[in-house]
Chains A and B, each alone.
Chain A
Amino acid sequence: MSGWMTVALKETRDHLRDYRSLRSAAIYSLMGPVVILLVAQSPAAAKGGTPLLLSMMSVFALVAAFTGGMYLALDATAGERDRGSLVPLLLNPISSLHLVIGKWIAVAVFAVAGLVVTLAGFTAVFEWSGIEPPAGTTGPMLLWTICGLVPVALLGAALHLLTGVASQTLKDAQARLSIVTLVPMMTGMFLVFFPGTIGQWWFAIPVIGPQALIGEALRGHAVSLLQAVTLAFLTLAATAAVLLAAGRVMSRTEIAAA
């Protein structure tokens, strides 16, 4: 078995035993559906109607995709350093990039799983509340999920790893990650409140793109397959770049450890 796969399997097995983190991640993933459920009962929501609830959902889904693997990323990077297991790990004949890729696979698995839980929660809430998406939005919503949210989950996993690898301690990493997590939150909220600012090229920007995509669909504008595929491709390219950067930072860690 290749080194990166060994790392990925170990990190997955290890994290599956971290019940506290799993509970926190599950609560985080279900936070959006629960909020939508509560808002859907209010008279104000009845006035705003389905588009308002769907806009809120898109922000929660974006944040869930971005943060789903955060706990594991922290534990697999800054956590290694804190418990003194990083240097022994670096003494194995495996390259820093392979170590990072192995950890990223595990983090990405949990990030996508968190996203799936969130989307399943939204589906259940919409079914239960009788909320129907506007006609003609099923296709764009699928594109939004596959080409927008899933790549964001992969990019978020890579960004969290880079942040963790670049941090000196677990506390340092937590402080930095709280800032990184603001990026999708602020982006999502901005585009909900200022939808008119969306330009044609916004669809191509990772993290912003999914929100631009779903916003246009909910306003009844056309969303092309090319736009969605371009967004997915560019988000995956950004993910690869972040992983390479994390591998380089990890290499420097070897020198620093020495």
Chain B
Amino acid sequence: MVEVTDLHMHFGAVRALTGVSFVARDGAITGLLGANGAGKTTTLNIISGLCEPMHGSVAVDGRPAGDPFDRRRHVGALLDDKGLYPRLTARENVAYYGALRGFSGGELTRRVQRALAAVGIESLADRRTHGFSQGERMKVALARAIVHEPRNLILDEPTNGLDVPSARAFKNTLSRMREHGVCIVFSSHLIHDVSTLCDSVVIISRGRTVAHGEPEHLCRQTKCRTLEEAFLALTGHEEEATCLAG
């Protein structure tokens, strides 16, 4: 479980976050929905332990995680950069990250095998990743992010650049992980992905949380038929939200 409370973050004069709060439950996919520059990526970077907020807190699995190293240990993250080492095989790429997280010997081998199996890329495990397709690279990057079998997984627009079969396979993988009780926080600006995959949606606009709840709840709250219209209504685009205009 990830609990985010009142995150604030400035980059010089740019106020990236001005009050983001939400709770992402175990065994559920929580989608962060927002326009470009709304603050989704900054929020995910903070949860993943890449940077510290200027104000506010993050708790992981009920424990306050003030130390970014603590968050890195308990969270698996697949952020915007998903580069692999092209001269290493898929297995070696995943094993490198497993070793960096302190696993070795038979334990490391088993975890790497489980991670590769979880994303369905065992058949390519011993091929160098140079020349892998976008979808294959994404799967290896995901296996690398879950090699320590985290209870919490952070994904920043993971289906960007994937073709339809790869995106479908990726979403199926996430659904399986949800069934195993993993807490998944998923950012996207693709409403379709969020509405079909997420159990709960957090709408972020101009650096702050403006709504949080199940997609149906958000539609009822705004008297809109679709999540897209509810999103527009909640993010200050009322003129484009036909539900409110009507």
Chain A residues packing against B (C-beta within 8 Å): 1, 3, 6-7, 10, 13-14, 17-18, 80, 83-94, 254-255, 257-258
Q: How far is the CA of A10 from the CA of B96 in the complex (A)?
A: 7
Please, which residues of chain A bring their CB within 8 A of the CB of B45?
A: 257-258
Q: Report A175 CB to chain B, min CB distance, Å.
A: 22
Please, which residues of chain A bring their CB within 8 A of the CB of B59?
A: none
Classify chain B's interface size: 20 to 34
Q: How far is the CA of A86 from the CA of B80 in the complex (A)?
A: 11
Q: How far is the CA of A3 from the CA of B101 in the complex (A)?
A: 8
Q: Count chain B CB atoms within 10 A of each CB in A13, A93, A94 and give the residue with the most.
A: A93
What 4 A-B pairs come out closest when comparing CB atoms? A84-B83, A258-B51, A85-B83, A84-B81
Please, which residues of chain A bring their CB within 8 A of the CB of B72?
A: 91-93
Evaluate contact between A85 and B100: CB separation under 8 angstroms. no
Please, which residues of chain A bring their CB within 8 A of the CB of B21?
A: none
Q: Count chain B CB atoms within 10 A of each CB in A17, A91, A254, A255 and give the residue with the most.
A: A91
Evaluate contact between B85 and A87: CB separation under 8 angstroms. no
Evaluate contact between A258 and B83: CB separation under 8 angstroms. no
Evaluate contact between B69 and A17: CB separation under 8 angstroms. no
Q: Report A234 CB to chain B, min CB distance, Å.
A: 34
Evaluate contact between B99 and A6: CB separation under 8 angstroms. yes
Chain B residues packing against A (C-beta within 8 Å): 42, 45-46, 48-51, 69, 72-73, 77-88, 92, 96-97, 99-101, 104, 141, 144-145
Evaluate contact between A1 and B104: CB separation under 8 angstroms. yes
Please, which residues of chain B bring their CB within 8 A of the CB of A1?
A: 99, 104
Evaluate contact between B42 and A7: CB separation under 8 angstroms. no
Evaluate contact between A83 and B96: CB separation under 8 angstroms. no
Evaluate contact between A94 and B81: CB separation under 8 angstroms. no
Evaluate contact between A17 and B101: CB separation under 8 angstroms. no
Please, which residues of chain A bring their CB within 8 A of the CB of B92?
A: 13
Q: List 6 A-B contacts (CB under 8 A).
A: A83-B83, A86-B81, A93-B72, A254-B50, A257-B81, A258-B42
Q: How far is the CA of A86 from the CA of B69 in the complex (A)?
A: 16
Evaluate contact between B100 and A92: CB separation under 8 angstroms. yes
Q: Count chain A CB atoms within 10 A of each CB in B77, B87, B141 and give the residue with the most.
A: B87
**Known contacts A1-B99, A10-B96, A258-B51: A87-B81 contact under CB 8 Å:** yes
B101 touches which of A18, A90, A93, A254 (Cβ 8 Å): A93
Evaluate contact between B50 and A91: CB separation under 8 angstroms. yes
Evaluate contact between A254 and B87: CB separation under 8 angstroms. no
Evaluate contact between A88 and B79: CB separation under 8 angstroms. yes
Please, which residues of chain B bring their CB within 8 A of the CB of A83?
A: 83-86
Evaluate contact between B100 and A3: CB separation under 8 angstroms. yes
Q: Report A251 CB to chain B, min CB distance, Å.
A: 11
Evaluate contact between B51 and A17: CB separation under 8 angstroms. no
Q: How far is the CA of A258 from the CA of B9 in the complex (A)?
A: 11
Q: How far is the CA of A90 from the CA of B77 in the complex (A)?
A: 11
Please, which residues of chain A bring their CB within 8 A of the CB of B97?
A: 88, 92
**Known contacts A3-B100, A6-B96, A85-B81: A14-B69 contact under CB 8 Å:** no
Closest to A17 in B: B87
